């Protein structure tokens, strides 16, 4: 019997000229039938900590540590899954190949690798939600859908695509929290003098709960909290899996 899942995709440091040497694209995945119950639980956690507004990596506060801790605890005891692709040495990519607005650009190859992975069951279906980033949102969805349709010979399990604002969705916020932590650790920001103590604390707790270092990837068979670690060598012409 097939199951329909919702996947909520967010990106960090994904722009070519944002000065960061790393980028991360990730999603949280939930059973569509569990959406209302899971959303209700996350909202209840936020209200219990007097934080009904958006949880966002860039706006973490030490005064809300217990909120972040409870959200992480909830994730690891729930059936929510997280999957991500961490790209290191992004500066080594050919600018044209990276930033070209078509399905052959590195960004789209990474996005396809993220969603079209080997843990996707052939009998299941997926509804894809992407965080609104810029005015190119519609073209991003159109290209991604076209490529997935082509990959699956017009029998794609990815049946629905929509943009959402992260402040309107609890699961995009959870994705943002996780990929923000991964990028912060991979950029070695947590090791710098004056690093954010609350971000260090969240990173440490995520590593404790997951059993993995956030900047080092996870085992390939991991399904609960997965990080695919890619290192781009200088002048390399890499070919991502699942093209």
List beta partners, residue 9.
27, 130
Chain centre distance of CA 36 = 21
pTM equals: 0.88
Tell me the pLDDT tens digit for each residue of 153-197: 878 899 999 999 999 999 999 999 999 999 999 999 999 999 999
Residue with tokens 């944002």: 18
Which residue numbers in the chain have pLDDT < 50?
17, 96, 98, 103, 236-243
How many domains are there within the chain?
A: 1
What is the phi/psi pair of residue 179, to 5°? -70, -30
pLDDT reported for residue 134: 59
- Tell me whether residue 201 is in a domain: yes
Angle at 112 between CA 160 and CA 130, to 5 degrees: 45
pLDDT reported for residue 3: 92
Domain membership of residue 158 as a residue range: 4-231
- Tell me whether residue 101 is in a domain: yes
- Tell me whether residue 170 is in a domain: yes
What is the phi/psi pair of residue 83, to 5°? -140, 140
What is the phi/psi pair of residue 128, to 5°? -105, 125
- Tell me whether residue 238 is in a domain: no
- Tell me whether residue 236 is in a domain: no
CATH code for the domain in which residue 183 is found: 3.30.420.10
186, 182, 136: which is closest to 163 by C-alpha? 136
- DSSP sequence for 144-169: HHHHHHHHTTT--SEEEEEEE-GGG-
**Cα–Cα distance between 99 and 103 in angstroms, integer?**
11
């Amino acid at each position: 019997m097939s199951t329909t899942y919702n996947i909520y995709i967010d990106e960090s440091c994904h722009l070519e000229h944002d000065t960061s040497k790393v980028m991360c694209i990730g999603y949280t995945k939930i059973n569509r039938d569990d959406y209302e119950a899971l959303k209700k639980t996350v909202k209840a956690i936020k209200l219990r900590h007097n934080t009904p507004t958006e949880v966002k990596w860039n706006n973490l506060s030490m005064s809300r540590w217990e909120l972040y801790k409870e959200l992480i605890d909830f994730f690891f005891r729930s059936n929510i899954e997280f999957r991500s692709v961490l790209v290191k040495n992004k500066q080594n990519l050919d600018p044209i190949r990276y930033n070209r607005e078509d399905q052959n650009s590195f960004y789209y190859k990474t996005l396809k690798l993220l969603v079209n992975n080997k843990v996707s069951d052939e009998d299941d279906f997926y509804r894809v939600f992407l965080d609104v980033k810029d005015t190119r949102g519609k073209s991003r969805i159109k290209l991604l859908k076209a490529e997935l349709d082509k990959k699956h010979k017009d029998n794609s399990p990815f049946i629905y695509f929509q943009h959402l604002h992260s402040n309107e969705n609890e699961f995009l916020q959870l994705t943002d929290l996780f990929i923000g932590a991964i990028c912060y650790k991979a950029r070695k920001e947590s090791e710098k003098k004056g690093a954010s103590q609350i971000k260090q604390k969240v990173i440490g707790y995520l590593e404790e709960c997951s059993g993995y270092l956030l900047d080092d990837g996870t085992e390939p068979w991991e399904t609960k909290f997965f990080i695919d670690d890619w290192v781009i060598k200088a002048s390399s012409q890499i070919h991502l899996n699942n093209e």
